[in-house]
């Protein structure tokens, strides 16, 4: 199965004001430009911008999309808040996909953003002008005669269709799921009802599972959801940091880890709040919020997958973007789709790594080139370390060549471990799929109480009880990148100082 698969992910942004002063976007594959605010009226204002991304698709199976949301500031950019859109639904009045590719705009009930996606079957570059969202600024407490700056962010997603699927492959992975009592039988998830785990015939089981119940509210992957196409990039994380207060920033980064062989974003100024940028060439101090030239070098590492972020860092990003964590069951759905399980398979649907040892990058920091061989960044690849997000895919890639999951998500096997919510701990099983609301706590933490990282509603400082890792990484052997391998599925994170763990968020489909 061949699908046009984007090879990079991005948060695009632009700035404008109620006085219609616009600024440039900062973008890679997704580009947001020409942001403007139309004349306000009746407590609402149209946020207009141009939106483009490469290798978009809609086929008979699914489609990609951009999750687009707006942040606003009423104090010149010191503090940023999450904008509430005017109404929900598909293509609501006043919203427009603009000129170019025919697009649908789907606004969920919480009005925290919008999915923008192809409305008909097609593939290729989307480059639309005059896209319009309607911001309900009165609901956010902004006066009609006031002044506001806005940033428009876009995150590439893939749509994972509703339907039954299997967990476990019947292979030799570590502690895979299976249908009791036969380890060779994958378990079928055919609805979102509660799942019995234990030693009765037909139960879901895995090594050491004991007996418990996965509640009906726990997202199991049967229901449709959107998943970030790739892991958070270093540039995305910088854009996130640059909308936080100084106190929030201090809790979402570690100054000792700003610049080293695996992370290339650094604090560019010591202001309050500080300004963060990417710079693999280590032009220390040269770029400021007023001089972003060095943030746009072709080899500055901004599109490399972001490491040294803890569960709480990633959860904060997800809450800020009005996304949510995804579960280890959703992970297997995103990899395998509705297809029959293949013993010891990887995310691209077979059990063979494509020559990973010879997956040599000419320059792992550039935004355009791809590895000349392979489809999974696992132990043995050169150079060592995380690669640019989605680096194995381009416009002509097949699923196998791109290392893509069934629905088009990239790097689910290898590159960086995926942080997922586990079914192997009661705190994880208590996860209900609640979305972030775009608002962090005063100290910069996610404040969604049923997410891992909270015990009885109280935040953990460093841990993430109820979370774990799936999908392997550049540091581990390929076998740990197999879809059903649960080597670290219930391993809570205890430190930010991890060079091979990443993050991607999800959102339940409206």
- Name all domains of the chain by residue range, CATH numbers in brackets: 15-159 (no CATH), 162-510 (3.90.1580)
SS3 of residue 282 by DSSP: coil
Model pTM score: 0.92
Q: Which pLDDT score is estimated for 458?
A: 64
What span, in angstroms and rounded, lies between the C-alpha atoms of 29 and 24? 15
pLDDT of residue 267 exceeding 90, the answer is no
Contact 420, 331 (CB under 8 A): yes
What's the confidence (pLDDT) of residue 39? 80
Of 49-53, 114-118, 289-293, 309-313, the range with the lowest mean pLDDT is 289-293
Give the rounded distance of the alpha carbon of 227 from its chain centre. Answer: 6
CA-based nearest residue to 131, from 8, 33, 65:
33
Task: Supply the mean pLDDT for the chain.
Answer: 86
pLDDT in tens, 451-470: 998 665 566 666 688 999 99
Residue 41's DSSP bridge partners are 44
Please determine, for residue 17, whether its predicted confidence score (pLDDT) is greater than 90.
no
Q: Does residue 114 carry a pLDDT above 60?
A: yes
pLDDT digits (tens, 9 = 90+) for 79-99: 999 999 999 999 999 999 999
Q: For the beta carbon of residue 112, count every other beta carbon within 10 angstroms.
A: 24
Res. 354: pLDDT tops 70: yes
Q: Is the dihedral of CA 198, 201, 205, 208 positive or negative?
A: positive
pLDDT class of 295 with cuts at 50, 70, 90:
low
CA–CA dist 410, 509 (Å, integer): 19
Lowest mean pLDDT among 110-114, 263-267, 308-312, 341-345: 263-267
**Which percentage of the chain shows pLDDT scores above 90?**
64
For residues 428-452, give the mean pLDDT: 93
Query: What integer is the mean pLDDT of 236-242?
Result: 93
Question: Which of the pair, 39 or 341, is modelled with greater confidence?
Answer: 341
Instruction: Please tell me which of 6-20, 31-45, 383-397, 430-444 the model is most confident about, judged by mean pLDDT.
Output: 430-444
Arithmetic mean of pLDDT, 287-310? 68
- In eight-state DSSP terms, residue 443 is T
Q: Check residue 462 and give its pLDDT.
A: 61
- Say if residue 286's pLDDT is above 60: no
Whether the per-residue pLDDT at 173 is higher than 60: the answer is: yes
411: CB partners within 8 A, 6+ apart: 230, 231, 305, 377, 389, 390, 392, 403
Q: How confident is the model at residue 3 (pLDDT cuts 50, 70, 90)?
A: very low
Q: Where are the beta strands (DSSP E) in 316-423?
A: 418-421
Rounded to an integer, what distance in angstroms lies between the CA atom of residue 159 and that of residue 509? 8
- For the chain, the maximum distance between any two Cα atoms, rounded to a whole number of angstroms, is 68
């Amino acid at each position: 199965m061949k699908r046009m698969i984007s090879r990079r992910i991005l948060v695009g942004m632009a700035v404008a004001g109620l006085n219609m002063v616009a600024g440039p976007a900062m973008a890679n594959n997704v580009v947001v430009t020409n942001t403007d605010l139309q004349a306000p009226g009746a407590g609402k204002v149209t946020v207009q911008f141009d939106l483009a991304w490469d290798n978009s698709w809609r086929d008979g199976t699914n489609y990609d999309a951009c999750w687009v949301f707006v942040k606003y500031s009423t104090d010149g950019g010191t503090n940023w808040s999450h904008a509430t859109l005017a109404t929900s639904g598909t293509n609501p009045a006043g919203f427009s996909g603009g000129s170019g590719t025919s697009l649908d705009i789907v606004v969920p009930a919480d009005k925290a953003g919008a999915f923008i996606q192809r409305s008909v079957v097609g593939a290729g570059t989307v480059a639309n002008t005059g896209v319009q969202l309607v911001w309900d600024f009165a609901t956010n407490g902004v006066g009609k005669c006031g002044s506001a700056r806005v940033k428009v962010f876009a995150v590439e997603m893939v749509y994972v269709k509703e339907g039954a699927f299997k967990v476990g492959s019947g292979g030799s992975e570590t502690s895979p799921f299976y249908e009791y009592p036969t380890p060779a039988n994958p378990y079928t998830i055919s609805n979102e009802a509660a799942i019995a785990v234990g030693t009765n015939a037909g139960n879901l089981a895995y090594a050491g599972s004991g007996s418990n119940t996965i509640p009906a509210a726990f997202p199991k992957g049967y229901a449709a959801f959107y998943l970030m196409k790739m892991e958070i990039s270093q540039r995305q994380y910088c854009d996130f940091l640059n909308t936080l207060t100084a106190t929030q920033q201090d809790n979402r980064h570690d100054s000792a880890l700003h610049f080293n062989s695996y992370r290339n974003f650094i604090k560019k100024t010591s202001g309050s709040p500080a300004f963060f940028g990417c710079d693999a060439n280590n032009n220390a101090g040269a770029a400021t919020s007023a001089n972003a030239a060095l943030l746009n070098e072709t080899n500055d590492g901004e599109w490399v997958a972001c490491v040294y972020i803890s569960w709480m860092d990633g959860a904060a990003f997800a809450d800020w973007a009005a996304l949510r964590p995804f579960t280890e069951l959703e992970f297997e759905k995103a990899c395998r789709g509705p297809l029959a399980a293949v013993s010891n398979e990887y995310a691209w649907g077979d059990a063979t790594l494509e020559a990973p040892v010879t997956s040599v990058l000419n320059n792992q920091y550039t935004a355009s080139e791809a590895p000349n061989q392979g489809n999974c960044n696992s132990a043995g690849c050169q150079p060592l370390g995380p690669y640019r997000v989605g680096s194995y895919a381009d416009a002509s890639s097949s699923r196998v060549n791109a290392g893509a999951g069934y629905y088009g998500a990239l790097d689910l096997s290898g590159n960086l471990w995926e942080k997922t919510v586990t079914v192997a701990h009661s705190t994880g099983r208590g996860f209900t799929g609640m979305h972030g609301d775009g608002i962090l706590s005063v100290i910069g933490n996610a404040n969604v109480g049923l997410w891992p990282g909270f015990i009885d509603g109280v935040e953990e400082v460093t841990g993430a009880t109820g979370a774990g890792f799936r999908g392997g990484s550049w540091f581990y052997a390929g076998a740990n990148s197999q879809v059903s391998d649960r080597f670290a599925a219930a391993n809570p994170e205890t430190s930010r100082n991890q060079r091979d763990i990443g993050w991607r968020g999800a959102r339940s489909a409206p």
